[in-house]
């Protein structure tokens, strides 16, 4: 396609009340691209959404429809989750993460979004002197907004600047004053796809124990570090986790990506056995219930939404069970994202781009759901503006609290060969545009 | 059944760490009854749960299964809700409430629980000087816990003491200092089944406008005041609402009771057109978005759960549309609860009980989902303890913030003739027990 004029883009931004494209939400970016699609008459290449690009897992669909036929729709689900989900969730974690978490600690949530939201709130309320949450950047944009909505103090640093031994030192620095209640991160990391190693997680776990910090580990993309084969249930290697090194942890596992089940808003938190039973005086005084795990489901989740879709709980239970039984190979399905990432990276690099977060300690970062792209001499905002002119939509790294300049690329919607050839052709336009402007 | 001994009940309470049965949650009451069922070998009559006692609406089930077949499960729903739900929600409200709310203002939530939770939070954050919420008592126990979780200041009074003209005076008294941001109530009232009249709602609406208070009107039991026929779409009489008298209002309409769809956790808020578009400086500063309605879905709901079950949105849309088209008579279905209430009340009265909240201004309260029962000389806790001994479970009015002594009775699980004859027989035991103890 022919590049859209700078003026047209500026007019659209003005009309949509956007001052800096680099600081918009994903939703606003999408609105800009929709306007430009309409004006140019060309469909954009969409790299902004972190949404599944595959069909929902059929095992889940069948179970959900059966649950609807069996009367699940008229009955409130228990706020701690249905029995089957608790059992299979525990078994799935044993199979793919290699740690033991009792069924009691498995509680379904309306996506990990709701899990994280309520865990943050509980962590902040259970210990009056611990009023701060730490984020490992870059990260999932909405996690930062959660802290803003809940009025929680935050600390953060860019993980990329503190890998290996430096990670432990930096963590100790931010934990030392005793104000930190919890730390939030996703592994693999959204958007950089950097993966914390078992060594780094060991440091984190030990320091969480030492400073009484709860690790909230978002496993949205679990087992998608395709450099290792994490697909065999109950066999190593397992998905790395902090849960091997501390009891102060909660895992968040969503069906959205691993089972392409984002629409039904179903996930689970897995609270370590020891944390589940831990008694907090401040919670007992406030709610008449003292234990961490009981409060999570009976207080926080209950008044937030009275649990989540009953039929989707049956779907999730069945998918987790089927994966643990080795009948449904979710890792094999997800490898498709790795293939798409490899192909997309090759195209970007060929057109003069570079990978922003390129290394994972010594190795190249793995090919997965996301990667990060920069272009010499352009800020993230400038890069995004020019990509929009060429029919490509994405979000900048600013929204992910990165200190680096560039954009986040999600490969999930690169479904067909045509998507890749469109990407190639448009990055060609971009390259010519850059040459013209620098002439 | 033979009454269970006082000592056995006391032992169970002690084992479950319950000091005062009158101050327990529904969940804890259920646990007590389960223990006693096990000990006595007799199934209890369950009057505690406010859950549907009918099958889920088939129109919804069919639409939900179709949505799953059509790929809804893999795609994130838009955070403002799917188009069909917004359109049909608006039409349904026009049909049964008789007011105009644009589709833009219809936003699905994970039950009205999530709607109310996030509306409370938004109301408290949008106006720094308004930090207080008013509740009309008695009420839904979880609404009070929401304020506790969110750290919101509350004011409340017992509606029954301030009906008619006194209602306006009392409201003016609690609104006058300008600290009140919102008022929460359900109409018909849970648990008293008292219904605010159009006159009272007019007073409320005028004062909400005068003092800039947002009315959060929970319509969980809409059209269930069976003294009038509210079943004809687009024809009066309509469900009474404050929306006729102020723009400062949000309706909360859940599929849980009206379509017996509680399991799927689907409801909608309906924000008045004027409030939707209203700009709040404090919100713009905090989130970069100023309008009330945009913040509700793009900020609050989005980071809380990224919307709600995609397939359930299709189910709800279809049920709302079908009701508005006059094809599905949800009011007719719900009349069954009125029949059960009439029958249950007769049994209670015959055994010497009285209705606690008995009058609705001049009239008797309507027969519906809930009613309230007392027994001369017994506090709510004493009454509940003795009913438990006779195989009947309920909750006391203390949990509903009532100042009166008694219990809440939900008729939804009185499904069969046997349930009624069991109730009759056990209230007979109760009566004999009371006579023995007073001898």
Q: Match 């100042």 to its residue by tokens.
A: B403
> Distance of CA B358 to CAs B193, B228, B345, B384, B410, Å?
9, 18, 11, 19, 15
Residue B134: predicted pLDDT = 98
Residue A20: predicted pLDDT = 87
Fold of B58-324: 3.40.640
- Are the beta carbons of A75 and B149 separated by less than 8 Å? no
> Which residue has better confidence, A26 or A145?
A145
Structure tokens at A3: 């590049």
Instruction: Quickly count helices (H) and strands (E) in chain A.
Output: 17, 15
Determine the angle formed by the axes of helices A6-15 and A380-389, rounding to 10 degrees: 110
* Cβ–Cβ contact B43 with A under 8 A: no
Model confidence at B16: pLDDT above 90:
no
> Is residue A10 very low, low, confident or very high in pLDDT (cuts 50, 70, 90)?
very high
Segment 280-339 of chain B within 8 Å of chain A by CB: 286-288, 298-300, 302-312, 315
Model confidence at B346: pLDDT above 90:
yes
Predicted confidence (pLDDT) per residue in A281-312, tens digit:
999 999 988 999 999 999 999 999 999 999 99
Burial degree of A31 (CB within 10 A; 0-12, 13-18, 19+)? middle
Helices (H), ranges, B82-164:
83-96, 111-125, 141-150
Residue A397: predicted pLDDT = 94
Residue B202: how many CB atoms within 10 A of its CB? 17
Which CATH code, of 3.30.830.10, 3.40.50.2000, 3.90.1150.100, 3.30.420.40, is assigned to A6-51+330-438?
3.90.1150.100
CB B184 within 8 A of CB B118: no
Burial B363-382, CB ≥16 within 10 A → b, else e: eebbbbbbbbbbbeebbbbe
Which of B263, B282, B313 to probe the A interface (max A CBs under 10 A)? Answer: B263
Segment 265-284 of chain B within 8 Å of chain A by CB: 265
> H or E stretch including B221?
none
Which CATH code, of 3.40.50.150, 3.40.50.2300, 3.90.1150.100, 3.40.1350.10, is assigned to B6-54+330-438?
3.90.1150.100
> Is residue B15 very low, low, confident or very high in pLDDT (cuts 50, 70, 90)?
confident
Nearest-Cα distance to chain A for B273, in Å, is 20
Nearest-Cα distance to chain B for A297, in Å, is 12
All structural domains of chain A with their residue ranges: 6-51+330-438, 59-324
Give the mean pLDDT of A243-259: 98
Which CATH code, of 3.40.50.1100, 3.40.640.10, 1.10.10.10, 3.30.450.370, is assigned to A59-324?
3.40.640.10
Residue A28: how many CB atoms within 10 A of its CB? 19
Q: Match 């648990």 to its residue by tokens.
A: B191
CB A293 within 8 A of CB A249: no
Residue B437: predicted pLDDT = 81
Predicted confidence (pLDDT) per residue in A413-431, tens digit:
999 999 999 999 999 999 9
Model confidence at B79: pLDDT above 90:
no
- Cβ–Cβ pairs < 8 A, chains A and B: 186
Q: A214: number of CA atoms within 13 Å, CB side? A: 30
What is the average pLDDT value for chain B, to the nearest integer?
95
How far is Cα of residue B39 from the mean position of the Cα atoms in its chain?
33
């Amino acid at each position: 396609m022919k590049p859209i004029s700078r003026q047209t883009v500026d007019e659209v931004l003005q009309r949509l009340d956007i001052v800096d494209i680099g600081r918009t939400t994903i939703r606003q970016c999408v609105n800009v691209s929709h306007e430009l699609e309409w004006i140019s008459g060309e469909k954009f290449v969409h790299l902004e959404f972190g949404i599944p690009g595959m069909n929902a897992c059929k095992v889940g669909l069948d179970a959900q429809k059966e649950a609807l036929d069996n009367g699940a729709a008229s009955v409130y689900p228990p706020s701690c989750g249905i029995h089957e989900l608790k059992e299979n969730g525990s078994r799935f974690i044993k199979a793919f993460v290699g740690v033991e978490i009792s069924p009691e600690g498995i509680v379904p949530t309306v996506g990990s979004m709701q899990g994280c939201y309520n865990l943050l709130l509980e962590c902040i309320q259970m210990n009056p002197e611990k009023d701060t949450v730490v984020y490992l950047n870059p990260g999932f944009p909405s996690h930062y907004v959660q802290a803003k909505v809940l009025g929680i103090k935050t600390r953060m640093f860019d993980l990329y600047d503190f890998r290996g031994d430096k990670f432990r030192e930096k963590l100790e620095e931010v934990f030392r004053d005793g104000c930190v209640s919890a730390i939030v991160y996703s592994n693999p990391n959204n958007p950089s796809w950097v993966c914390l190693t078992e060594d780094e997680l060991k440091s984190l776990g030990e320091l969480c124990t030492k400073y009484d910090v709860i690790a909230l580990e978002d496993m949205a993309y679990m087992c998608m570090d395709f450099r290792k084969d994490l697909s065999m249930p109950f066999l190593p290697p397992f998905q790395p986790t902090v849960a091997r090194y501390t009891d102060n942890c909660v895992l968040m596992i969503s069906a959205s990506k691993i089972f392409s089940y984002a629409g039904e808003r179903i996930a689970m938190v897995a609270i370590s056995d020891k944390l589940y039973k831990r008694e907090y005086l401040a919670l007992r005084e406030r709610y008449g219930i003292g234990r961490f795990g009981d409060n999570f489901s009976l207080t926080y989740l209950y008044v937030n939404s009275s649990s989540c879709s009953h039929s989707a709980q049956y779907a999730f239970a069945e998918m987790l069970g089927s994966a643990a039984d080795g009948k449904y190979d979710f890792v094999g399905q997800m490898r498709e994202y790795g293939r798409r990432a490899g192909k997309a990276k090759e195209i970007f690099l060929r057109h003069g781009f570079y990978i922003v977060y390129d290394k994972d300690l010594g190795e190249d970062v793995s090919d997965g759901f996301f990667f990060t792209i920069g272009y010499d001499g352009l800020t993230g905002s400038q890069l995004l503006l020019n990509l929009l002119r060429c029919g490509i939509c994405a979000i900048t790294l600013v929204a992910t609290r990165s200190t680096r300049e560039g954009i986040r690329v999600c490969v999930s919607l690169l479904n067909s060969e045509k998507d890749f050839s469109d990407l190639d052709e448009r990055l060609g336009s971009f390259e010519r545009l850059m040459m013209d402007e620098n002439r």
